[in-house]
Amino acid sequence: MSPAPHPRAGEVMTGAEMIVQVLVDEGVDTVFGYSGGAILPIYDAVFCHNEATGGSMPLIVPANEQGAAFMAAGYARASGRVGVALVTSGPGATNTVTPVRDSMADSVPIVVICGQVPTSAIGTDAFQEAPVPSIMGAVAKHVFLVTDPTRLEATVRTAFEIARTGRPGPVVLDIPKDVQNWRGAFSGSGHLPIPGYRQRLNRVAANKLSESACASLLAALERAERPLIYAGGGVINAGASEALRGLVHELRIPVVTTLMGIGAIDTSDAMAMRMLGMHGAAYANYAVEDCDLLLAIGARFDDRVAGNPTKFAANAKFIAQFDIDVSEVNKVKRVHWSHLGALPEALTALREGARRAGFRRDWSAWHRHCDLLRRTHAMNYDRQSERIQPHYLLEQINRLTHGEAIISTGVGQHQMWAAQYFDFRSPRLWLTSGSMGTMGFGLPAAIGAQFAVRDRMVIDVDGDASIRMNIGELETVTTYGLPVKVVVINNCGDGMVKQWQKLFFKGRLSASDKSLHKKDFVKAAIADGFEFAVRLESKAEVPRVVEEFIRFPGPAFLEVVVDPDAGVYPMVGPGQSYDEMITGDFIASRKPVEVVPPDESEMF
C-alpha cells in the first residue's frame, strides 16, 4: 500500500518555502542561525511559517555563526536528533567550519544550511562569496551545492538521511539565493539517488551477528580469565547503551569507557571502571593493562586512548571489535575478531546467543581484582589545601545533581576534571569536544542542549580561557530565558598548556599565563543579564554558594577562583604507554615513574 500523498503536494512554493517545509517534515523544532543577505529568503520563510503556526520552529540567534553550529551540535548530542544551523554566505559559512569539523570528528548529526551568491555569480569573487564545497568537503560527511532548483527538495531530505544514518555526521547544504527564490511545485516526497551510500548502509544493516561468529567470541570469552569491555562514543551515537548495559549485566564483564563513551554505562554501576586513556582513572588504565581479553565496542583506539598502540592492552591474548565503520577495524590496533554492523542488534544478539548456549563463567576473582584497583588507585587530590581545588568544587556540584544533569564543557583541564568527578546515570548527559578539542564549545553546546531537553538541568563547566572563545553567547542564554548554569573554573590561563609546560618545557609558561588579564567575568555576566552572578574565592564558602547556584531558578553564572597549580592526574603522555602513567602526588601508582618528555613527533 503506497503512502498517502503529502498534504501540500502540488502546491507552488519558493525554494525557501520548500526548505522550511522539509525541515518541518523532518521533525525539526528548533533552528539556530545568524542572518545575512544571501540567506534572507529562507529566514523570511521561517518567519512566515512561525507566524502561521504560533512559533512551532523558533529560530535562535547567537552572537556568531560558530555559536549557531555548536548550538546545533549540542542539540544533536543531547537529543540524538539532527541539529540544524542556518547561516549566510561567505563569512557566515566559513565561521561554521570549526563546528562542522568538530561534529565530523565526534560523529554528530547536524545539517548546516548556507546561503550562497546567485548561481550566475559563483566563481566571480562576488560580495560575501566563499567556495563552500571546497572548504567544507574536507571536513564534512557530505556537501551539496544546489544549482538545479528542481532537485532542491530531494537534496534537503537526502542531507538529513546522510546526517543521521550509518556513522552520523555533519552535512552542509550550499544554496544560491536564486535557488531559494525559485518557484515550483512541491512534491512532498523523494530523495536523491545515492546508490553507493545506500548499498553500503544496507550491507551493514543486513550483516547480522551470525551464530558461528557469536560462538567464536563466546569461546574466546570462555577461555578468558580477565575480560574487559572498552566502550566508545559509537555506543551512544548508535543508541546502543541499553543493549550494552544488558550485555554487561548478563555476562558480568567490567567496562571502561572513552571520553566520548561516558554515560554508555551508569558510572555508579558495579561493573563500571570509569574512563580510560590519557587522563583516565588510574584503576581503569591498570585494568586495561591487566585484562587478557579486550572487547572494543564503538571505540576506535584513538591516540588519546591507545597512546602507544603496540603496548596498549599488551596482555590481552584476544581483542574483538564491534563497529559500524569498516575503516576503523584494524586501523590502529590489529584485532583477532570483528563484527561490522548495527551495535544494538549485534550486542543483543551476543547476549541472546550467550543465553541459548547456557554461557556461564565465574569471573569473581577478576571482579575482586578490579575492586582492589578502584580502592588502591582511587581518584584523589590535595584535600588539605587552603585554596579551592577544582576537584572539590565539582564533587560539590555532583552531590546536588546526582548524575542526572547534562554537563557541557569547554576544553582543557576543567574538561578532564569534569569527566573524572561527575557521575552520569544515562547516555547523552555528557557533551564535550572530544577529537577536535575545541575551546569555546561548552557554552553554545549547553544552549543547544537546553533547547533539546527543556526539563533537564544543563550546566556548562568551563575554563577562564575556554569561555573567552564564545563568551558572547552569555547574552543568548538570557535573551531566551534559559535556566543554563555556567560555572567558570578560573585558574588564570590555559591550564592544560601550563601543565604540559611545567612537565615537559621546564616551566616556561610561554603565552599561557593570563594572571594579568583584566577580564571581570562577573561584570560581563551581569552586563549580559544574569541575575545570579557570583565570584567564589573562599573554600569554606563552596558548599553554600554551589547550592545557591544550582537551586537558582533561572540563568546562573558562577566564577570560581581555584588553585592555579592544580593539575590533571593521572596523565599518560602522548605516544606513551600506561606503564608510564604519571599519577601525581595524591593517587597511588604501581611503581615510581620518571617524568620523561614524549618524543617530539608525539608532543601534544
Residues with Cβ within 8 Å of 469's Cβ and at least 6 positions away in sequence, in order, are 410, 439, 440
**Would you state the pLDDT for residue 380?**
98
The arithmetic mean of pLDDT across residues 6-10, rounded, is: 97
Q: Please tell me which residue in 379, 439, 496, 571 is annotated as part of the active site.
A: 496
Question: Is there a contact between 469 and 98 (Cβ–Cβ < 8 Å)?
Answer: no
- Categorize the per-residue pLDDT at 46 as very low, low, confident or very high, splitting at 50, 70 and 90: very high
Instruction: Locate 430 and state its grid cell.
Output: 555528557
127 has catalytic annotation: yes
* Beta strand spans in 464-531 (E): 485-490
- What pLDDT does residue 91 have? 98
Residue 485 annotated as catalytic: no
Question: Is pLDDT at 85 greater than 90 in this prediction?
Answer: yes
pLDDT higher than threshold 70 for residue 19? yes
At 168-185, the pLDDT tens digits run 999 999 999 999 999 999
Whether the pLDDT of residue 604 is over 60: the answer is no
Query: Is 35 a residue whose pLDDT tops 60?
Result: yes
**Residue ranges of the alpha helices (H) in 278-388?**
282-290, 303-306, 343-356, 364-376
Q: How far apart are CA 175 and CA 182, in angstroms?
A: 11
Cα distances from 150 to residues 20, 147, 153, 174, in angstroms, run 16, 9, 7, 15
> Phi-psi bin for 412: left (phi > 0), alpha (psi -120 to 50), beta?
left
CB atoms within 10 A of CB 223: 12
Identity of residue 226 = R
Q: For this structure, is 11 an active site residue?
A: no
Select which of 26, 65, 289, 580 is catalytic: 65
Residue 300, pLDDT above cutoff 70: yes
Please report the pLDDT score of residue 432 as a whole number.
Answer: 98
Q: What is the mean pLDDT of residues 142-167?
A: 98
Predicted pLDDT at 21: 98
pLDDT for res 337? 98
Q: What percent of the chain has pLDDT over 90?
A: 94
Pairing of strands 12-14, 183-185: antiparallel
Comparing CA positions, the residue from 17, 12, 8 lying closest to residue 181 is 17
Tell whether pTM > 0.95: yes
Whole-Å CA distances, 164 to 145, 243, 325, 463? 19, 20, 14, 31
Angle at Cα 442 formed by Cα 440 and Cα 448, nearest 5°?
Answer: 115
Indicate if the pLDDT at residue 600 is higher than 70. no
**Edge-to-edge strands, sheet with 171-176:** 59-60, 31-34, 83-87, 110-116, 171-176, 142-145
Does residue 153 have a pLDDT over 90? Answer: yes
Q: How confident is the model at residue 516 (pLDDT cuts 50, 70, 90)?
A: confident
Catalytic residue among 32, 144, 177, 278: 177
So what's the pLDDT on residue 2? 74
Average pLDDT along the chain: 96
Instruction: Name the residue among 289, 326, 324, 281 with its Cα closest to residue 306.
Output: 289
Does the active-site annotation cover 498?
no
| Residue reference for cell 602513567 | 581
Torsion sign over Cα 311, 316, 318, 322: negative
Strand, helix or coil for residue 562: coil
State residue 515's pLDDT score.
87
Tell me if residue 295 falls in helix, strand or coil: strand
Q: How far is CA 403 from CA 243, 422, 430, 450, in A?
A: 20, 7, 10, 17
Segment 312-318 mean pLDDT: 97
38, 128 Cβ separation under 8 angstroms: yes
Give the residue among 234, 403, 398 at the shortest CA–CA distance from 325.
234
Residue 601 pLDDT > 60:
no
Q: Is the pLDDT of residue 546 over 60?
A: yes
pLDDT in tens, 399-413: 999 999 999 999 999
Domains observed in the chain: 12-195 (3.40.50.970), 207-376 (3.40.50.1220), 390-561 (3.40.50.970)
Which of 331-345, 395-409, 501-515, 532-546 has the weakest average pLDDT? Answer: 501-515
**Could you confirm whether 177 is annotated as catalytic?**
yes
- Residue 595 pLDDT > 80: no
Instruction: Note if the bond before 570 is cis, omega within 30 degrees.
Output: yes
The catalytic residue among 57, 128, 457, 541 is 128
Residue 578 near residue 506 (C-beta atoms within 8 A): no
Q: Considering 127, 222, 523, 603, which one is annotated as catalytic? A: 127
Return the SS3 of 468: helix
State the pLDDT at residue 352: 97
